[in-house]
Structure 1
Amino acid sequence: MVYARNMKKMFNELMRGGDISTARVITRFILGFGLIAAILFGTAGTFNWPEAWTYIIVQFTYSLRMTLWLKKHDPALLKSRMRVLNPSMQQRDKLFALLFTLLFIPFLLLPGLDAIRFGWSDMPLAIEIIGFAGVSWALWLILRVMQENSFASPIVEIQRERNHQVIDSGPYAYVRHPMYTGFITMNICLPLALGSLWTLPFGILLSSIFLIRIRFEEKTLQDELQGYSDYCQRVRFRLLPGVW
């Protein structure tokens, strides 16, 4: 009974936030990457899947580097990013999270079924290499965003208690939402890297909800964050310079 209560307490702390201890970070890594590996290799029905191993290693390397950097230089942002249940989450953020989850489930389940178990797709090696190049670039861009923007909360909010300011340096000097650029690139390139054409439509759908999210996020920032409207005049493009 005591063990069960302790496990429940630890789970609640992992979900809500709390102090960012090394043990807690390690636990989240084990749970997160363990789940990803279980889904990918479970649906594939084999561990003999070089593309999946490559992805896990690349993702783990970037995630570990980002987490260690944040733990040392910006623990407040790390705490915010690790919190799954946020009491200040608005209804539209909850809807976004629901839609994202519903689309992300097949996004993870399909590659193993498609590329390995049933072999529906026959992806050329050159396309897989391009996919991995895109995945690596996306992860690098997300890392740079985290290093540059201490206010990169997973929900749309103005962090007045932390003196929220407009960030216009680093990737933000070129586009207004570089993190979403990274996420969308990942959504499109990961199916290619894993060799699954059937997963690509779900990657496109995942990307589309980020495009919708940008609209109401920018309205909130323009209405409530001082200087953001001027920033929009200086940096005209949201996701891709010269395009949109």
Structure 2
Amino acid sequence: MAHSLGRRSFEAIAQFLIFLAALIFLPAWSLRYWQGWLFFAVFSASIILMTVYFLKADPGLVGRRLKAGPVDEKLKSQKRIQTFASILIVLLILVPALDHRFGWSSVPAIVSIAGDVLVVAGFAVTFFVFRANSYTSGTVEVAKDQTIVTTGPYGIVRHPMYSGALLMFLGMPLALGSWYGLLLVIPMAAVLVWRLQDEERYLERELPGYPEYRQKVRHRLVPGVY
């Protein structure tokens, strides 16, 4: 079973990375795009290393993470939210690639590298979220024996995985060398807030102890802000 999970995981990663490469380099219409190559390398290495680690440390989490996206969501509201999120994620890569092709932006190399650092930081936050909460799923759901997690990043904000995602989304257009791509971070953040608010309503109904946890940890996404 472990071998099957590993195979399915790396097949899914391979398919996603092929799609990601196409999304970066086809609209850019050039392989002479160092920002695209560096971002692709950083993103690929991060996702592969995390998958290797959790296949050994927590294969159940990896299995739960294989189901994600609008099709796998059970709640109708989350299907709509994930559809918007999927479109915006594609645009976060597509717009910078087109920006590179047509020369709309002139982003300093140091800023692009800082964007990659933000992407890595986002993955790092996600890593610690997965370490703290084995029930972290790619869809909004509550497992039978699931309990409230209040340790690690969950002691700082209630939705730390979305905090990590926000860091990644902020870093992606910069890493790809586009100022215009940053404009998409605003609707992306709005969709994240929409998703977490809808998720909280579900968790209050389905996860015992969640209302008390909300009282204990006041901020949802950004410490001291929201």
Instruction: Report the TM-score, using the length of structure 1 for normalisation.
Output: 0.85
User: Structure 1: which 5+ residue stretches go unaligned?
Assistant: 1-17
Please give the alpha-carbon distance, in whole angstroms, between the structure 2 residues aligned to 1:33 and 1:102.
17
Selected match of 2:84 from 91, 99, 121 = 99
Please give the alpha-carbon distance, in whole angstroms, between the structure 2 residues aligned to 1:111 and 1:192.
8
Selected match of 2:196 from 193, 200, 214 = 214
Query: Amino acid of the residue matched to residue 160 of structure 2?
Result: P
CA distance change for structure 1 residues 62 and 200 in 2, over 3 Å: closer, same or farther? Answer: same
Query: Amino acid of the residue matched to residue 110 of structure 1?
Result: V
1:110 has 2:95 as partner: yes
CA distance change for structure 1 residues 22 and 99 in 2, over 3 Å: closer, same or farther? Answer: same
Please give the alpha-carbon distance, in whole angstroms, between the structure 1 residues aligned to 2:186 and 2:218.
24
1:48-197 equivalent positions in 2, closer than 5 A:
48-84=32-68, 85-86=71-72, 89-114=74-99, 116-160=100-144, 163-197=145-179
Show the counterpart of 1:240.
222
1:178-227: CA deviation from partner (whole Å, max 9, x where unpaired): 00001111111211111112211222212210101111211221222112
Could you tell me whether the CA contact under 8 Å between 1:187 and 1:204 is conserved in 2?
A: no
User: Structure 2: which 5+ residue stretches go unaligned?
Assistant: none
CA RMSD of aligned residues (A): 1.8
Could you tell me whether the CA contact under 8 Å between 1:20 and 1:75 is conserved in 2?
A: no
Please give the alpha-carbon distance, in whole angstroms, between the structure 1 residues aligned to 2:213 and 2:135.
16
Number of equivalences: 223
Query: Amino acid of the residue matched to residue 146 of structure 2?
Result: H
Could you tell me whether the CA contact under 8 Å between 2:170 and 2:185 is conserved in 1?
A: yes
1:201 has 2:183 as partner: yes
Show the counterpart of 1:6.
none
Matched-pair identity in %: 32
Instruction: Report the TM-score, using the length of structure 2 for normalisation.
Output: 0.91
